[in-house]
Amino acid sequence: MSVQITVVPEEFTLVQFEATRIAEVAADVAGRIGFPEGTAVRIEIDEQSPLGSTELLAIDPVTLAVESGAFEDAKRPRHLSEQSVRSVLGRLLFRARDRLGPSFADAPPDADLPLRQYVAWDVYAVGRCERLGWRAQKERRRYHFRIRHGFTDVADEAFDRLWATDDLTWADLQAVCDETEAADVRAAVKRGRGR
């Protein structure tokens, strides 16, 4: 038994995508990251949006929302980039796999996550993708992390730890966020200190 992938829509009219190819790549990604056997994964693609927003909507069943721009080839608009599909689904499916396990049972829904925690979790997911050989854009991710966690040595060290590990719990991720917040002068000003 393998992961059950459903791609919506089954046929695309505005972009040159093939649902069957996306499903094949998704099944390969799920298998390589150790996604639980028999899990149903639904990938809902908004082909009307050339933007690149992505979201993990639910985990029962695992439901991903993807704007078609996230899967597009940057050099060939409206055409599928398997590299982009692999990178986007790797990040989202790692996050879903985390949520399906007991070590992330206390994590709030993505919609309720503060940006600091959301970005930290993305770093943890994308670092694992890189170790599987998928495009990761590490320095771009580091910059996004710094924006949310501060331009400090503490934040840079936290990023490196998140990027390099494979076995965090939700409590570990929260601890990293607390550590960077304590070192972030901007957060201290918001709390009424350091003026």
Give 2-44 pLDDT, tens digit per residue: 899 999 999 999 999 999 999 999 999 999 999 998 999 999 9
Q: What is the mean pLDDT of the chain?
A: 93
Domain ranges within the chain, ordered by starting residue: 1-100, 102-195
Dihedral (CA of 143, 109, 164, 175) sign = positive
Q: Rounded CA gap, 147 and 124, in Å?
A: 16
The CA distance from 121 to 174, in Å, is: 9
The yes-or-no verdict on residue 193 having pLDDT over 70 is: no
Q: What is the pLDDT of residues 144-154, one digit of tens each?
A: 999 999 999 99
If pLDDT is split at 50, 70 and 90, which confidence band does 186 have? confident
Strand locations in the chain (E): 4-8, 40-46, 54-59, 62-67, 72-73, 76-80
Give the pLDDT confidence score for residue 2 in this predicted structure. 86
- Asked if pLDDT for residue 195 goes beyond 70, the answer is no
**CB within 8 Å of 185: residues ≥ 6 apart:** 150, 152, 194
Q: 57-96, pLDDT tens digit by residue?
A: 999 999 999 999 999 998 998 999 999 999 999 999 999 9
With beta carbons less than 8 A apart as the criterion, state whether 87 and 93 touch.
no
- The number of residues in the chain equals 195
For 123-139, what is the mean pLDDT? 96
Q: What does the alpha-carbon distance between residue 45 and residue 19 come to, in Å, rounded to a whole number?
A: 10
